[in-house]
Amino acid sequence: MIKSILVGIDGSEHARTALRYATWLARRLDATITGLHVVDIVSIEGSFFHDISGSLGFEPYLDFTSKMREALQERGGALLDEFRATCAAENVRCDTALQIGIVPSEICERAREADLVVIGHRGVNQRFSTGLLGGAAESVTRQCPKPVLVTPLEFSEIRSPVLAYDGSQRASAAMQAAAEVCSALALPLSILTVCRDAEQGEKTLDQARRYLSSYAIETRPYAITGHAYESIPGEIRAKHYDLVFMGSHGHGGIIELVLGSTTEYVLRNAPCPVFLNR
C-alpha cells in the first residue's frame, strides 16, 4: 500500500500539478508526501560558462559557482516553503528534502525510501527538452526503482482508471498496484488488452480476472485488436479514462532503441496521468 509519496518540486506548472495529484492521493491513502527539490549541478558546474569565458580569452570568475549555488539553494528553499504551505492547506503530512546533483539521479536515489514517485510530464527547463516528454521525466521513468506517476499539465480527479494488461511480468506488477490503489480509493478498474486476435485476448483477460477476483473492486475487462502503442492512447481518449496503469519499458534494449517502446509512446501521447510499475 502507498504510504510514502515522493514528489519532484521545481517551480514549473507541471510540478504544481504533480503536487495536486500527490496531495489528492495522500489525503485518500493517508500517506505522507516528501517534496524534493534538486539544485541541478549542471546549472552550477556545467561547461557553458567555462566554454564562453574560455572563448573570450579570460579565466572564469572564480566566485561565480559559489554565488550561483547560493542563489539556486535559496530559490529551492522558497519552493519548499511553498510546498509546505500547500500541504498544510490540504491537511496532508509532509517532509522536505533539498539536494544538489543530477536531477534524475537524485530523484531515483531518494525514491528508495518512498512507495510512489510523482513527477510532472515536463519540468522547469521544458523549452530545452526534446520530444513531448521532459528529459528528466524520461530518465526517471527508465531508472526509478519504485512506481512512478507521470502527470499531465491539467489536474482532474481520478474516477475512471484503466489497466493496460498484456500478461507480462511488468504488467502483472502494474495490475497488483492498480488493484491496491483502486481498492483503497473505492474505484472501478477497466482492464484493456490489445492483442492480435480474440482468442489470445480472452486468454490474457482470464489471467487478469483470476488475479483480480480476490479484490473487492468492480472490474471491466475487454480486449481489442491492433497495435498497443496506438490503441492505448486512443482508448484513453475514447473512453475518457483519467488514469492508466501499465508496466514500464518492456522491450529489450535494441528493439527499444530502434523502435521505441509502447510505454514511451503512451507517456508521450496519453492525456491523463500514467502510473508505471516495473
Fold designation for 161-277: Rossmann fold (3.40.50)
Burial of 157 from C-beta contacts in 10 A (0-12 / 13-18 / 19+): exposed
Burial of 89 from C-beta contacts in 10 A (0-12 / 13-18 / 19+): exposed
Q: What is the pLDDT of residue 109?
A: 96
Of 7-21, 72-86, 257-271, the least confident: 257-271
Q: What is the DSSP letter of 222?
A: E
Q: How far is CA 247 from the centre of its chain?
A: 12
**Other Cβ atoms closer than 10 A to 91:** 9
Of 9-13, 111-115, 137-141, 143-147, the least confident: 137-141
Q: What is the pLDDT of residue 46?
A: 56
Q: What is the pLDDT of residue 136?
A: 86
Instruction: Quickly tell me which residue has 502494474 as its cell.
Output: 174
Tell me: pLDDT of 56 over 60. no
Q: What is the pLDDT of residue 59?
A: 52
Beta bridge mates, 274: 150, 244
Report the chain's mean pLDDT, rounded to a whole number: 87
Q: What is the pLDDT of residue 252?
A: 45
**33 near 5, Cβ under 8 Å?**
yes
Residue range 224-263, pLDDT digits in tens: 999 998 999 999 999 999 999 999 854 444 434 433 578 8
Mean pLDDT of 92-100: 97
Q: What is the pLDDT of residue 258?
A: 36
What are the domain boundaries of the chain?
A: 4-151, 161-277
Fold designation for 4-151: Rossmann fold (3.40.50)
**7 near 119, Cβ under 8 Å?**
yes
When pLDDT is cut at 50, 70 and 90, the band that residue 1 belongs to is confident
Tell me: pLDDT of 217 over 50. yes
Residue range 118-164, pLDDT digits in tens: 999 875 554 434 444 557 888 899 899 999 999 999 999 999 999 99
Report which of residues 86 and 264 the model is more confident about.
86
Q: What is the pLDDT of residue 63?
A: 60
